[in-house]
Copies of this chain bind each other. A is one copy, B any other.
Amino acid sequence: MAPSIRNVAMITKIGSSEAEAAASKVARLLNKSKVKTYAVLPLKIKGSVSVTPEELKDAKLDLVFAIGGDGTTLRAFRIIPCRAPLFSINSGGHRGILSEADVGTIDEVVAAILAGKYFYDSRTRIQASAGRKAFPPALNDILVTRVSLTRTPLVSIRLMGDEIKQRMDGIVVSTPTGSTGHSFSIGGPVLHEGMSCLILSPLASVNRMPQLVIPVEEITIQSTYESHLIIDGQETFRIEADRSIRISRFPDDAVFLRLQKKGMRQLAKL
């Protein structure tokens, strides 16, 4: 039997009054059923405890609602406690590929969740590090790309004992979840979301290096020029020239709470 749900946080798209109204509605329904609710600031909900994103990390949560587009879901996974399940409601997203429901179905969704009619959907995440610095985990992708737009670096990619060296503008390392994101935009295949593998998609490779699908093993990327490192298209860092960037599986998967068994969820929404 599914564990009972007692503590639930709400995270909404910044500045979206539609998402905030939906969060209030979810909280009201949960409060009626004696579930304790938290609103992650800047979101405020009457009847919910306000918490900062920093406080959230140590909270004991049975579920998190992320209400907004895919950007909101990606951001939520970086700030919620590891392995806390997340339910994503699409509000104002372009495609809402990661979401499970729309704002119009909140009553049914909350009822189904409280009745335990759900399942968990675990997704591989990856994490980059350079020297002693570890960067936030990514659910979709890690992009390494040149800072100077007037020079094309030689990029070295080492994986499982092999090394590939090619001149290119950058490279996207995507999880199956992220295969419908940036990697797709540059021509990549869609990876079945239940798989455990990665796709490396070169950006503007001078010799048109093909995309590579590989097991989730440590990869090392090195560029001859200074690079941007971008996590899920949301957080950016600078990496100096010739510094090794290691990318490996993040120990904690992202866990979605889902209502409908559906394999190629992402493909259907493209």
One digit per residue, 1 when the CB lies within 8 angstroms of any chain B CB and 0 when it does not, for chain A 211-224 equals 11111000000000
In the complex, residue of chain B having the shortest beta-carbon distance to the beta carbon of A95: B206
One digit per residue, 1 when the CB lies within 8 angstroms of any chain B CB and 0 when it does not, for chain A 158-191 equals 0111101001110000000001001011111111
Query: Is B189 a contact partner of A204 (Cβ separation < 8 A)?
Result: no
Query: Is B234 a contact partner of A150 (Cβ separation < 8 A)?
Result: yes
A236 at the interface (CB under 8 A from B): yes
Given contacts A204-B182, A264-B164, whether A211 and B234 have CB atoms under 8 Å apart is no
Query: Is A94 a contact partner of B212 (Cβ separation < 8 A)?
Result: no
Query: Is A167 a contact partner of B94 (Cβ separation < 8 A)?
Result: yes
CA distance in complex: A159, B193 (Å): 13
In the complex, residue of chain B having the shortest beta-carbon distance to the beta carbon of A236: B149
A25 at the interface (CB under 8 A from B): no
A14 at the interface (CB under 8 A from B): no
Select which of B182, B215, B233, B236 is within 8 A of A195 by beta carbon.
B215
A72 at the interface (CB under 8 A from B): no
Query: Is B184 a contact partner of A213 (Cβ separation < 8 A)?
Result: no
Residues of B within 8 A of A23 (CB): none
A111 to chain B, nearest CB (A): 25
Residues of B within 8 A of A168 (CB): 185
Query: Is B236 a contact partner of A213 (Cβ separation < 8 A)?
Result: no
Most chain B CB within 10 A, of A145, A185, A203, A206, is at: A185
CA distance in complex: A270, B212 (Å): 13
A32 at the interface (CB under 8 A from B): no
In the complex, residue of chain B having the shortest beta-carbon distance to the beta carbon of A229: B149
Query: Is A195 a contact partner of B197 (Cβ separation < 8 A)?
Result: yes
Can you list 26 A-B pairs with a CB-CB distance of less than 8 A?
Answer: A94-B206, A143-B149, A150-B230, A160-B192, A162-B267, A162-B268, A179-B213, A185-B205, A186-B203, A186-B204, A187-B187, A188-B189, A189-B189, A189-B199, A189-B212, A190-B211, A191-B212, A191-B214, A195-B214, A195-B215, A197-B197, A197-B213, A203-B204, A210-B270, A212-B264, A213-B213
